[in-house]
C-alpha cells in the first residue's frame, strides 16, 4: 500500500471508534500540554529575571553582604548569622583601597510610615542610600534631583520618593519641594525616582530614599550594617574586580589567612545560576510527571490497538488472503497508533500554549511561548505512538491468514 492509502485506511478505522480514539490520545494530550506550558514558563521567568536584573542591579555591578543572594543550605545560613556586621566604615575603607573599582556604594534600610497632608501610607520601604548610588547602581531620577555628598555629610532631612508612593500621596510634580513625614520626622522631597516596575507582581516603586547618614541618626535601630555594591572600572573585568574586593575586605575585616570568607559576594550571574538550579529541579519534577502521563497515554494507545487488532482479525485475514504483505499490515497499524498519538500531541500543544498565554495575562508570573516546545511536543507524541504501536502492529502482521479468516 502506498502511504496515502495507509493513512486513509488508518483514519477510516479511527473514525469508526471515535470515543476510543479520543480516550487513547488523552494521556498524550496531558503530557504534552504539561511539557509545553513548563518550557514556556521557565523560558519566560529566565528572560524576565535577566531583564529585571539589568534594570535594577546592572549587569556589571556585584554586591557584598553578610547574607547570600542565592539559595544556600540551612547550615550556611545559620553560620552567616554569626558573622560580624558589614559596616559603613568598612565600606568606606574598601572604596578608598580598591584600584579596580569605578565606584563603591552602600545601602541599608527599614520600614515605616510616610505621611503627606491627610494621606498616610503604612509599611513603606525606607531606603538608606549613599550619594554614590546613582553612579554605581544606576539609581535614576525621573523628576528633581538626587541628594549630594554635602547633604549626606550634614545629615540633611531630604528624600526621594518612589513613583508608586508619589502617586499614592498626591501629584508627583506637586510633591517636589514639599514636606512629607517619615516615621514622625519631616523631610523635604527633592526628587521622584524613575519607575522600576515590578518583579512577579511585587512593586519596586513603593519606597522613600533618604541619605544614609540621616537614616543612621534618625531611623535606624542602632545597627550600622550595610550592603555594599561595587562597579568595576570599564577596562577591568568583573572577576578581577571581584577578587580584589574579596581580598581587600578580608584584610579590613581581619579574616585569618586560611579561614573562609565571612561575607558573600553576589553577581547577577551567580543569582541567575542559583535560580536556574531551582527552576531546573522544578522542571525535572514536572517533566517526570509529564513523562508518566505520556507513558500512561502510550499504554492506553497500545491497549486500544490490541483491542482493535482482535476486533479486526477477519479483516486482517481477508487482506492477507488478497495479497497484502506483512509490512502493509504493520504500516497500517503503526499509522493508526502514530495518528492517535500525534492528535493528542497537537491538541496538547494548543492547550499548553493556551495555558502559557493565560499565565502571562492573568497572573504576575511571566511566560513566553517557545518554538522549541512545539518541536518537543511533536517529537514526544510521535515517539510515543511509534514505540507503543510496534507490538500491536507486529501482532497483527504475524497472524496466520487461514486462522484469521476462521475467527468468529
pLDDT in tens, 198-228: 666 667 889 999 999 999 999 987 777 899 9
pLDDT at position 201: 61
DSSP 231: E
User: How crowded is residue 50: how many other Cβ atoms within 10 Å of its Cβ?
Assistant: 14
Lowest mean pLDDT among 111-115, 263-267, 351-355, 359-363: 359-363
pLDDT at position 331: 74
Question: Considering only CA atoms, which of 295, 285, 337 is closest in space to residue 30?
Answer: 295
CA pair distance 119, 108, nearest whole angstrom: 26
Whether 157 and 186 have beta carbons less than 8 Å apart is answered as yes
pLDDT at position 13: 54
Average pLDDT of every residue of the chain: 80
pLDDT at position 397: 67
| Domain segments of the chain as ranges | 3-52+272-406, 84-262
Instruction: Look at residue 1 and tell me whether its pLDDT is greater than 60.
Output: no
C-alpha cell at 26: 488523552
Kindly indicate the confidence band of residue 122, based on its pLDDT and cuts at 50, 70 and 90.
Answer: very high
pLDDT at position 229: 92
Q: Which residue has the higher pLDDT, 358 or 6?
A: 358
Maximum mean pLDDT: which of 121-130, 351-360, 388-397: 121-130
408 Cβ neighbours under 8 A, 6+ residues apart: none
CA pair distance 389, 291, nearest whole angstrom: 17
Residues 286-300, mean pLDDT to the nearest whole number: 76
C-alpha cell at 370: 517557545
Q: The pTM is what?
A: 0.65
Kindly indicate the confidence band of residue 71, based on its pLDDT and cuts at 50, 70 and 90.
Answer: low
pLDDT at position 230: 93
Instruction: Look at residue 181 and tell me whether its pLDDT is greater than 90.
Output: yes
The phi-psi region of residue 132 (left if phi > 0; otherwise alpha if psi is between -120 and 50; otherwise beta) is alpha
Per DSSP, the residues of 129-178 read E-TTHHHHH---EEEE-PPPHHHHHTT--EEEE-HHHHHHHS-HHHHTT-
Lowest mean pLDDT among 15-19, 272-276, 317-321: 15-19
Kindly indicate the confidence band of residue 301, based on its pLDDT and cuts at 50, 70 and 90.
Answer: confident
Lowest mean pLDDT among 57-71, 106-120, 162-176: 57-71
CA pair distance 131, 405, nearest whole angstrom: 92
Q: How far, rounded to the nearest angstrom, does the alpha carbon of residue 183 sit from its chain's CA centroid?
A: 36
Residues 363-367, mean pLDDT to the nearest whole number: 69
Per DSSP, the residues of 322-365 read TT--HHHHHHHHHHHHHHHHHHHHHHHHHHHHHHHHHHHHHSSS
C-alpha cell at 224: 550600622
Q: How much of the chain exceeds pLDDT 90, in percent?
A: 31
Instruction: Look at residue 234 and tell me whether its pLDDT is greater than 60.
Output: yes
Instruction: Look at residue 141 and tell me whether its pLDDT is greater than 60.
Output: yes
pLDDT at position 362: 76
Residues 392-406, mean pLDDT to the nearest whole number: 65
pLDDT at position 5: 52
CA pair distance 374, 201, nearest whole angstrom: 28
180 Cβ neighbours under 8 A, 6+ residues apart: 114, 115, 116, 159, 161, 169, 186, 187, 189, 208
Residues 139-160, mean pLDDT to the nearest whole number: 94
Amino acid at each position: 500500500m502506498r502511504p496515502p492509502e495507509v493513512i486513509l485506511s488508518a483514519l477510516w478505522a479511527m473514525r469508526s471508534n471515535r470515543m476510543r480514539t479520543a480516550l487513547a490520545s488523552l494521556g498524550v494530550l496531558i503530557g504534552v500540554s504539561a511539557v509545553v506550558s513548563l518550557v514556556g514558563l521557565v523560558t519566560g521567568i529566565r528572560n524576565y529575571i535577566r531583564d529585571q536584573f539589568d534594570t535594577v542591579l546592572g549587569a556589571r555591578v556585584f554586591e557584598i553582604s553578610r547574607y547570600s543572594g542565592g539559595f544556600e543550605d540551612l547550615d550556611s545560613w545559620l553560620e552567616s548569622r554569626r558573622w560580624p556586621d558589614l559596616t559603613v566604615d568598612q565600606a568606606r575603607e574598601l572604596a578608598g583601597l580598591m584600584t579596580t573599582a569605578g565606584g563603591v556604594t552602600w545601602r541599608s534600610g527599614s520600614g515605616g510610615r510616610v505621611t503627606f497632608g491627610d494621606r498616610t501610607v503604612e509599611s513603606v520601604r525606607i531606603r538608606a542610600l549613599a550619594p554614590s548610588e546613582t553612579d554605581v547602581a544606576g539609581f535614576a531620577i525621573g523628576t528633581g534631583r538626587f541628594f549630594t555628598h554635602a547633604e549626606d555629610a550634614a545629615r540633611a532631612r531630604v528624600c526621594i520618593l518612589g513613583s508608586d508612593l508619589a502617586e499614592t500621596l498626591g501629584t508627583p510634580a506637586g510633591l517636589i519641594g514639599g514636606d512629607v513625614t517619615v516615621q514622625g520626622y519631616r523631610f523635604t522631597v527633592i526628587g521622584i525616582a524613575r519607575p522600576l516596575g515590578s518583579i512577579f507582581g511585587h512593586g519596586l516603586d513603593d519606597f522613600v530614599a533618604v541619605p544614609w547618614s540621616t537614616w543612621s541618626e534618625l531611623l535606624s535601630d542602632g545597627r550600622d550594617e550595610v550592603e555594599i555594591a561595587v562597579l568595576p572600572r570599564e577596562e577591568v573585568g568583573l572577576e578581577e574586580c571581584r577578587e580584589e574586593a574579596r581580598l581587600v575586605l578580608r584584610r579590613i575585616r581581619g579574616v585569618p589567612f586560611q579561614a573562609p570568607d565571612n561575607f558573600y559576594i553576589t553577581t547577577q550571574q551567580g543569582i541567575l545560576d542559583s535560580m536556574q538550579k531551582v527552576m531546573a529541579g522544578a522542571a525535572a519534577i514536572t517533566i517526570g510527571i509529564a513523562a508518566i502521563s505520556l507513558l500512561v497515554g502510550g499504554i492506553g494507545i497500545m491497549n486500544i490497538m490490541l483491542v482493535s487488532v482482535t476486533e479486526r482479525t477477519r479483516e486482517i485475514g481477508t487482506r492477507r488472503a488478497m495479497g497484502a504483505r506483512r509490512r502493509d499490515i504493520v504500516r497500517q497499524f503503526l499509522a493508526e497508533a502514530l495518528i492517535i498519538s500525534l492528535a493528542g500531541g497537537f491538541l496538547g500543544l494548543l492547550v499548553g500554549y493556551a495555558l502559557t498565554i493565560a499565565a502571562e495575562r492573568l497572573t504576575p508570573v511571566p511566560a513566553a511561548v517557545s518554538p522549541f516546545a512545539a518541536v518537543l511536543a511533536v517529537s514526544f507524541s510521535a515517539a510515543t505512538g511509534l514505540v507503543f504501536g510496534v507490538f500491536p502492529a507486529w501482532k497483527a502482521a504475524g497472524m496466520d491468514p487461514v486462522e484469521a479468516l476462521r475467527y468468529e
